[in-house]
Structure formats: C-alpha cells, structure tokens
Amino acid sequence: MQIGFPIRIDHRGRTAETTHGQHVREMIEQLLFTSPGERVNQPEFGCGLMKMVFGPNSDELASATQFLIQGSIQQWLGHLVQVQEVEVRSEEEKLLVTIKYTLIKTQQQQMDSFEFSP
C-alpha cells in the first residue's frame, strides 16, 4: 500500500492508503498540475501544462501538449508506467487530457482523464 494523495486521514484515524494503481494515477496528476520551478527541492519537476491553458486554442496547441505530457511522464514516471496514448482536446476554455498507459509492475492497463481550466 502507498500513502494517498492528497494526504488525508481515513475512517480509522490513520493516514489514508491507496493501491499501487491509484498511487500512480495520483503521481501523474501531481506531475500534470505542477509547474517547473514550483518545487524547491526539485525545480525541474512538472509539466508546465497550466501555462498551456492560456495559449490560443488550436490543434497545434493540442499536439504540442501531447508531446509535452508524454515527455514529462517518460522523464519522471518512466520507471512506473509505459505510455500507450495521450489525447489532448480543447473545448472552449478547457483542456481535456486522456492518458492510456500500462503499469510496469502489474502490466495492468489504465486510462485516466484530467481537465484543466484557468
């Protein structure tokens, strides 16, 4: 078991735990929502996706964002997951990201979606 994110107390009054698959999903979420320079001890950590939300909404932005996400996951979480596909769609002021990946430890396939808006 892993410590859940965000850190919280469970019904037993202990630090909440989570499964390996859920923990990896939470790590991907942290990576996507963290901007480089935000963490003191790891200033390179993050994806920079929040800055992309403010860019002009276009197919080019979606394509660039796909490469950004895939590269960031490979750099920071490549030892945990193998990315199968990253899909980025922009709808009005929102950026919708769907990631399909395989957990290396269990060979289980996962698909998670994240929504970004200013």
For residue 11, what are its two tokens? 């019904």
* Rounded distance between C-alpha atoms, residue 11 and residue 50, angstroms: 33
Tens digit of each residue's pLDDT (9 = 90 or more) over 62-107 = 788 888 899 999 999 999 999 999 998 877 777 889 999 999 999 9
Residue 83 CB contacts under 8 Å (≥ 6 apart), including other chains: 70, 73, 74, 99, 100, 101
Instruction: Report which of 16, 14, 31, 8 is spatially closest to residue 78, judged by C-alpha positions.
Output: 31
Question: Residue 10 has what pLDDT?
Answer: 83
pTM for this predicted structure: 0.83
- Containing 51, the helix (H) or strand (E) segment is helix 49-52
Tens digit of each residue's pLDDT (9 = 90 or more) over 46-67 = 987 777 666 666 777 778 888 8
